[in-house]
Structure 1
Amino acid sequence: MIEYILDFISNAAPFWIYVALFAFAYVENVFPPSPSDLVVVVGGSLISQGTISFIPTLILTSIGSVLGFMTLFYIGNQLDKKVIRAGKMKFISIAALEKAEGWFLKYGYIVIALNRFMPGTRSVISFFAGVSELNIKKTVLLATLSAFAWNAIIIYLGILFGNNIETVDYYLSTYSNIAIVITITVLIFFIVRYFWNKKKKKEN
C-alpha cells in the first residue's frame, strides 16, 4: 500500500503531488497512523529533481498538519466534561479528565510547540489540548511553528537523500520508536506518581 502511494506521488503531475502532500499531512493527525512524514520526504526528493518547489511544499504540508491538529482540537473541545457527565463516555472519569486538564494547563503549550517532533502522540496531544480548552490563538501559533519546523527538516532530508528514501525511512522510524518509548515512560511515571500520592493521602 505504501509503495503504491509513494509510486503515485513520484509519478503524478505537480498539482496532484501538492494535493497528496496536503492530504497526507492532514489525515496523519486525524486518522493515525499515516505515512505522512515519509510522503513529505518523497516530496523533498521530488524538489531535488525539479518536479515541485520547496516553498509550496513546505506551506501546504504545514497547513495540512495544522488543520489536522485543529480538527482534533475542536473535537476534544466539544467532548468536554458535560458530555462525560452525561454518561456518554463512561470509560473516562471526571477525576481523570481534570487531572489531564491540570497537566495540560501547566505544560500544554510546551507540548504543542514540540508536538510535530513527538510522532505517535500528535493526535492525543491535539485532542487533550482541546479538552483542556487551551487558548486557541496561542495553540494555532505554536502548532504552526512546530509544523513548519518539522516539515522543513524532513523536506530537507528528502532533498539531501532523495536517491535513498529507504535510509531516511529507517532513521525516521527509529526516531519515532525512540520518541514513543520516551513518551510512554514519562506517562507511566506520572501515572505511578499519581497513584502513589493518592495512596499516601489515604494513609494520612
Structure 2
Amino acid sequence: MDKLIGLLAGFVITVISSWRYVGIALLMGIESACIPLPSEIIMPFSGYLVSTGALVLWGVAVAGAVGCVVGSWLAYALGAWGGRPLVERYGRYVLISHHDLDLADRWFQRHGDITIFVGRLLPVVRTFIAFPAGVARMPLWRFTAYTFLGALIWCWGLAWVGLKLGQHWDTLGVYFHRFDALIGAIILMGVVLYVWRHLRHLARR
C-alpha cells in the first residue's frame, strides 16, 4: 500500500508541478469521477506550493472545486443514464428493488442538498457520492451548487493545512488513511445490514 501511495504521490507532484492550476483541476476531476485518486495528496501538495509562492491559496481551492464539479458531472451522468437502467433491470439480483429506487429518489429530492454537501467533506464518500445522486436523478443545478460548495471547503482546508505544514505536507495522508478505514468499515456495516434486511424480508415472503 505504501508503495502504491508513493507512486500516486509522484504522479500528483509531476502533474501539478507541470500544469499548476489546470493540473489541480484535472486531478480533482479524476478523483470525483469515482476513481480513487487521493485528494489528501493533491491538495496538501498544492498548499505546499502556495507556501513557496508558486501558487495562490484561493486559486488552488477554486481550481480543485471546479475539477470536482466536472468530474462529478461525469459520475452523475453515468449514474443517471447508465447506472439507473441497469439497476432497474438487474437490481433484483443484488437485492435492489424498485421500492429501494423510489426511496432513493425521495431521499435525494428532500435531503439531496445536505447529503451532497456533507458527502463532499467525507473521505471515501466524496469520491462516489455523485453516482447515486445521478441514479436518483437529483436536480442537476442543485447537485452542481452543493458539490461546488462542499468541494471548495474541502479543497481550501486541505490546501491550507499543506500551506502550514510546508515541506512536511506529505505527513497529512497518514491521518486521513485512518479516517478512510473507519468510514470504509461504517459503509461495510451498512451494506451488511441492508443485505440482512432484504434476506429477512425474502424469508418472510
Q: TM-score, normalised by structure 1?
A: 0.82
1:116 aligns with 2:120: yes
Matched with 1:75 is 78
State whether structure 2 residue 42 is matched by structure 1 residue 32: no
Q: 1:191 aligns with which of 186, 192, 195?
A: 195
Runs of 4+ in 1 over 6 A off after TM superposition: none
Amino acid at match of 1:117: L
The number of residues matched between the two structures is: 194
Return the letter of the residue paired with 2:198: Y
Alignment of 1:1-204 (within 5 A): 1-8=7-14, 11-12=17-18, 16-79=19-82, 81-82=84-85, 90=90, 92-93=91-92, 96=96, 98=98, 99-103=100-104, 105-106=106-107, 109=112, 110-200=114-204, 202=205
- Structure 2 portions without partners, runs of 5+: 1-6
Give secondary structure in 2 for the equivalent of 1:134. Answer: coil
Q: Could you tell me the percent identity over the aligned residues? A: 18
The residue type paired with residue 77 of structure 2 is Y
**Structure 1 residues 75-133: Cα deviation after superposition (integer angstroms, max 9, x where no partner):** 21112654566x6xx4x338715314513532561321222233323343211211111
Alpha-carbon distance in structure 1 between the residues aligned to 2:123 and 2:137: 22
Cα displacement (A) at 1:36: 3.1
| Structure that is richer in helix per residue | 2
Q: Distance in 2 between matches of 1:20 and 1:10?
A: 5
Normalising by structure 2, report the TM-score.
0.81
Deviation at 1:71, TM superposition (A): 1.1
TM-fit CA distance, 1:10: 6.9
